[in-house]
Amino acid sequence: MLGGLLVCASALAQAPDLVLVNGKIHTLAAKSTVAEALAIRDGRIVALGNFAKVKPLIARSTRVVDLKGRTVIPGLIDSHMHAIRAGLSFSTEVNWIGARSIPEALARLREAARTRKPGDWLIVAGGWTPEQFAEKRVPTQAEIAEAGGDHPVYIQLFYGWAMLNPKGFEALGIREDKDVPPAGKLDRDASGALTGGISGNTPTITGLFARLPKPSFEEQIEGTKAFFRELNRLALTGVIDPGGFGMAPPDYQALFSIWREGGLTLRVAYTIFAQGRGKELEDYKNLTQLLPMGFGDSWLRFNGIGENVAWGVYNNDAPTEAAREQFYEICRWAASQGMALNIHWHNDSSVWMVLDTFERVNKEIPIGNLRWTLVHLEDAAEDTLKRMKALGVGWAMQDAGYFEGEAQLKAKGEQALRRMPPMNSALYIGVHVGAGTDAHRVMSYNPWVALRWMLDGKTVGGRALRGPEETPTRENALRMYTLGSAWLAFAEKERGSLEVGKLADLAVLSKDYFKVPVEEIGEIESVMTVVGGKVVFER
C-alpha cells in the first residue's frame, strides 16, 4: 500500500509540465533527427521521439500542445547583438527595421509623434539603410519635420550620418560645424543651404547621440522586457552581448534588476567593453575582481571581455606599436585569468596583428580552451581560418553584407564578394562559427533575414553576391545560429540542440524553414517560443 503511494507520488513528480505532440521537431543533435513529440519538466527536455514514447508520461497536470505538423527548432542564439543597449531605449525609440519605403518609415514616426508626450524626442538610432527603401534614398528634412510634428527628431544612419529636424537642431543648440565635434560637418546643398544632415565619423555620431536625453530607469526596464519579447517573437532564446559605445556599468542595472526578479525571457551572455582609453587593463582588473569568468547562471552569464578589448586596436587596421603592445598585455592578462575575449576585426589584410598576438600569448599561457573569438572578419582567408582553428579561436559571423554588400562590392570587387563570408570553408576547416546580426544600430535584429541572407547572399537591395561554394546548407546555417553561437557562450552542452537533459529552449515556427522557398525564410516568425520550459511568446 505504502509502496503504491510512493510510486504514485513519484509518478506525479515525474509528470512533464509541457508536452508538444504532432510536430516536426528538428533536434540538431549529432545525428540530425526529426522527432514527433517532446516532453519538458522543470525547464529541461525529459523525453523526445515518437508520440508512443511520450504519451505514457502525460498526466492531468501536463499541458499538451498539438503542433499540427509545425516545424520546431532549438531556440536561436545571436552570437553578437548589442541587445542590452538596444533594450534600454526600445520603448522610447522609433525603429525603421524592415520598413520598405519612406512613407512606411515616416508613418512610424508620425505614429510615435501622436502617442509620445509633447516635446519628447523621436529617435531612430540606426538599424536601417536607404537600400531597403523603394526610393533608395534617405528621407529629406522636410519629410521628417512634417512627420515629427512638434517633437525634436533624430535619425541616425550607421555611424557616419544623422539628420535632425529644425526643432532637434534648436534643442541641441547646433548652428555650425563646430557644434558637432569632433569631426562633424553640417550638410549643405549646391546653393549652400543646410539640408538637415550631419556627416561625420563614429566619434561624431556617438558624441551627438550622447547629447540626447536618456530613458529613465523604469523606461529602461520596460524597454528591455519589450525588446526581449520582440526577440522571442522571432524565435530567439539567447544572445551574446558585447556591450557597445557608451555602455558603462550603470547601463547594466535594468538587466540585472529583471534577472533578480526572475523576469528574463532571453538568455544573455555578456562581455565587458573597454571603458577608459589608456586604462583598459586597470578597468578590467577592477571590474572583474568579484566577477570571475563564467560567473552567473543559465539566464545571465559573464562571458569575458570585448568586443572592444582596447581602444587603440578597436576597428583600426593600423594600430601603433604601443597600442599593439598594450593589446598583448591585456590578452596575456585575460589568458592568465582563464577569461574569454572577443574582438571586432574587419579586414583580413590586417588580422595577422591579432593572430600574432594570440600566438605570442599562447606560447606563454595556452588559450586553446578559452574560446577567444574574432567578430566580423567577413573576408577571412583560408590561412586565417587555419590559424584560428589551431588556436581554438571561434568566429562570430554576421549578416553585415545584407546592408553593406553594395559598399563591400565597391571596396573589394566581385571575386572577393563571392566568398564572403567564407562560411563553408570555416566549417570545413573546423572553426566554430556562431551566426548573428550585430544589431541594432548597424543591422536589423531579425535572425530570419540573416538566415535568408546566409542562404541566398542577397543584399537588402536584392543583389546576389555570394557564390554557391560558400553558401551553407539550411541545416548548417541553422546550426551556426544555435549550437555555433552556444559554443561561443560555453553553453553547447546546455542548449543549441534539442536533446534529453538539455534546457528546453525552442521555437515553433510559422513556416517550415526546411521546406519553404528561400525568399520566404525572411518572413518566418515564431508561433510559440519556450525558454527553460516557460512559454515566453505565444501567438
Residues that bind Zn ion in the complex, under the rule CB under 5 A: 438
Q: Which is nearer to Zn ion, 88 or 507 (CB)?
A: 88
Exposure class string for 58-97: b at 16+ Cβ within 10 A, else e: beeebeebebeebbbbbbbbbbbbbbbbbbbbbbbbbbbb
Beta-strand runs (E) in 31-174: 34-35, 37-41, 44-49, 63-66, 71-74, 76-78, 122-125, 153-157, 161-164
Structure-block grid coordinates of residue 47: 523525453
Taking the complex as a whole, the smallest distance from the CB of residue 421 to Zn ion amounts, in Å, to 15
Q: Which is nearer to Zn ion, 314 or 333 (CB)?
A: 314
* Cell 513519484, located at residue: 10
Q: Which is nearer to Zn ion, 133 or 270 (CB)?
A: 270
Classify burial at 15, counting beta carbons within 10 Å of its beta carbon; exposed 0-12, middle 13-18, buried 19 or more. middle
Q: Please say whether the beta carbons of 206 and 245 come within 8 A.
A: yes
Residue 422 CA to residue 385 CA, distance in Å, equals 9
Angle 507-532-72 (CA atoms, 0-180°, nearest 5)? 20
Q: Which is nearer to Zn ion, 85 or 432 (CB)?
A: 85
Q: Which is nearer to Zn ion, 24 or 371 (CB)?
A: 371
**Cβ of 181: how many Cβ atoms within 10 Å?**
12
Q: At what angle do helices 141-148 and 102-115 cross, to 10 degrees?
A: 30
Taking the complex as a whole, the smallest distance from the CB of residue 342 to Zn ion amounts, in Å, to 9
Taking the complex as a whole, the smallest distance from the CB of residue 279 to Zn ion amounts, in Å, to 22
Taking the complex as a whole, the smallest distance from the CB of residue 309 to Zn ion amounts, in Å, to 13
Taking the complex as a whole, the smallest distance from the CB of residue 242 to Zn ion amounts, in Å, to 5
Q: Which is nearer to Zn ion, 399 or 438 (CB)?
A: 438
Q: Which is nearer to Zn ion, 36 or 438 (CB)?
A: 438
145: part of which helix (H) or strand (E)? helix 141-148
Angle 359-365-367 (CA atoms, 0-180°, nearest 5)? 65
Pairing of strands 34-35, 76-78: unpaired
Taking the complex as a whole, the smallest distance from the CB of residue 187 to Zn ion amounts, in Å, to 27
Q: Which is nearer to Zn ion, 346 or 418 (CB)?
A: 346
Q: Which is nearer to Zn ion, 404 or 438 (CB)?
A: 438
Q: Which is nearer to Zn ion, 438 or 470 (CB)?
A: 438
Taking the complex as a whole, the smallest distance from the CB of residue 355 to Zn ion amounts, in Å, to 20
Cα atoms in the Cβ-side hemisphere of radius 13 Å centred on 187? 14
Taking the complex as a whole, the smallest distance from the CB of residue 225 to Zn ion amounts, in Å, to 23
**Torsions phi, psi for 489 (to 5 deg):** -105, 15
Taking the complex as a whole, the smallest distance from the CB of residue 294 to Zn ion amounts, in Å, to 22
Classify burial at 364, counting beta carbons within 10 Å of its beta carbon; exposed 0-12, middle 13-18, buried 19 or more. exposed
Taking the complex as a whole, the smallest distance from the CB of residue 86 to Zn ion amounts, in Å, to 11
Which amino acid is residue 512, in one-letter code? D
Minimal CB distance residue for Zn ion: 438
Taking the complex as a whole, the smallest distance from the CB of residue 71 to Zn ion amounts, in Å, to 30
Taking the complex as a whole, the smallest distance from the CB of residue 398 to Zn ion amounts, in Å, to 8
Which amino acid is residue 334, in one-letter code? A
Which amino acid is residue 412, in one-letter code? K
Sort residue 238 into left (φ over 0), alpha (ψ -120 to 50) or beta: beta
Taking the complex as a whole, the smallest distance from the CB of residue 506 to Zn ion amounts, in Å, to 27
Rg (CA), the chain: 24
Residue 291 CA to residue 289 CA, distance in Å, equals 6
Pairing of strands 161-164, 153-157: antiparallel
Q: Which is nearer to Zn ion, 438 or 492 (CB)?
A: 438
Residue 426 CA to residue 423 CA, distance in Å, equals 5
Q: Which is nearer to Zn ion, 133 or 209 (CB)?
A: 209
Q: Which is nearer to Zn ion, 131 or 438 (CB)?
A: 438
- Distance of CA 67 to CAs 62, 228, 507, Å? 15, 24, 11
